[in-house]
Amino acid sequence: MTSPRTRECDVAIVGAGLAGLAAARSLTAAGLSVLVLEARDRVGGRTLNHALSDGSVVEVGGQWVGPTQLRVNEWIRDLGLELFETYDEGYNQFEYRGRLSRYQGAIPRLNPLVLADVAQAQARLDRMARQVPLDAPWRARKAAEWDGQTVATWLERHTHTGGARGFFELICEGVWAAQPADLSLLHFLFYIHSGGGLDMLISTDGGAQQHRIVGGSQLIAQRAADALGDRILLNAPVRRIIDDGESVALHGDDIEVQAARVIVAIPPTLAGRIVYQPSLPGWRDQLTQRMPQGSVIKCMAIYDEPFWRADGFSGQVTSTDGPVKVVFDNTPPGSSSGVLLGFLEGEQARKLGHLSLAERRDAVTACFARYFGPRAASPNDYVERSWAEEEYTRGCYAGYFPPGVWTTLGSGLRDPCGRLHWAGTETADVWNGYMDGAISSGDRAAREVIAAGVKVLPVPVAASA
């Protein structure tokens, strides 16, 4: 057996997603030597581009950028990337109990009683969300009460129509890739506050789905990685981290890295699978056991052209029936093709994840045909990504908190453990769960490391083999 490669640096970073890359950029700018260890053969984490046959690009991972997501927009400008607007012209569609209706604007045509019920519940939830401190949700005045119930429980008590409960179930699936019964109400409220309100989270025009990146969102990570050069090591999963009180050793399959400090920038559920010596404090390990990833399969059907536009449709659909409950026109700029994007989320992703690819394709295109006519049943190509199957992700969009976790263990989410620091979108206070939150979390972890006064190791970083 060959000896492992050995590297030394001031700060080692686990994960080359946006959080890890942000930390690396900040620390490098501060004059520290950095190594980023990435388990995959690519950078970008939960962002991933896919090239179509005509050379245009769609994203099978995270893709949207909203106008109030300041850090990711700053990166996009600094890295010389361009934005384009999500297609939002024509009629949207809403399916409820087998009935498909079309509408324009943000609000579907619903029974007035249902609309009133949705409005009162949303106003109440937004008001409650503003009472949750972003840096310490467990300190909210009603934290124990809110963390002691699920979103489903609250909806049962505070909505009066099945239509309103169906609407908020769609929101939970679309935003968290989870069911209302999965989510702590406190986490739901924190997340709403983190994103600037419920409307901001679910809207296209002016909201979190307003823009996409020309050439695909993975370009953000790729451009950032280009500037870091050989500070990034691919195909380098970290299996064990040893903190001896003076420095930290990271052990992989064929690499060892010695560092003064470490930033672990991967989802908590994955961070919990690394072996630590000494063992992590019980509260930290318990936290990682209680932060599941959402369940989502991102599905795209590719056609000769975006024919639904000529029929007057925006391509945007929401449905209480499913199994595809959220649909967008995902056609990239300059493409000769048309692309419909459908999400299988939460319970639907868990159920259909057991099926074969062919069976899932049939289920997805059957939904598209229901929404846009028989032509949608026969795409030229079909692309999907089940993030629960990804070894180094195990679900999307992010880790979430079930009941009881914020108030008992949440205070340790960002707390360093010895020389180990934590980053990742799950640790962000603003735009938690989004690309913007990932970047700000990396910046915050880098500031922690700098404030801790890194004892620079005497041996400089070696060039990557």
- pLDDT at position 109 is 80
How many C-alpha atoms does 173 have within 13 Å on its Cβ side? 27
| Strand partners of residue 192 | none
Mean pLDDT, the chain, whole residue set = 96
- In this structure, the number of other CB atoms found within 10 A of the CB of residue 131 comes to 13
Instruction: Give Rg (Cα) of the chain.
Output: 22
Note the residue count of the chain: 465
Q: What burial class does residue 54 get, using C-beta atoms within 10 Å of its C-beta: 0-12 exposed, 13-18 middle, 19+ buried?
A: exposed
Cis-peptide, bond into residue 137, ω within 30° of zero = no
In this prediction, residue 460 has a pLDDT band, given cuts at 50, 70 and 90, of very low
Residues 5-35 have pLDDT tens digits of 899 999 999 999 999 999 999 999 999 999 9
pLDDT exceeds 70 at position 175: yes
Residues 35-76 have pLDDT tens digits of 999 999 999 999 999 999 999 999 999 999 999 999 999 999
Across 267-271, average pLDDT: 98
- pLDDT at position 5 is 82
In this prediction, residue 454 has a pLDDT band, given cuts at 50, 70 and 90, of confident
CA distance 424 to 428: 7
pTM here is 0.96
In this prediction, residue 465 has a pLDDT band, given cuts at 50, 70 and 90, of very low
- For 169-199, give one letter per residue: b (16+ CB within 10 A) or e: bbbbbbbbbbbbbbbbbbbbbbbbbbbbbbe
pLDDT exceeds 90 at position 3: no
pLDDT exceeds 70 at position 2: no
| Strand partners of residue 7 | 257
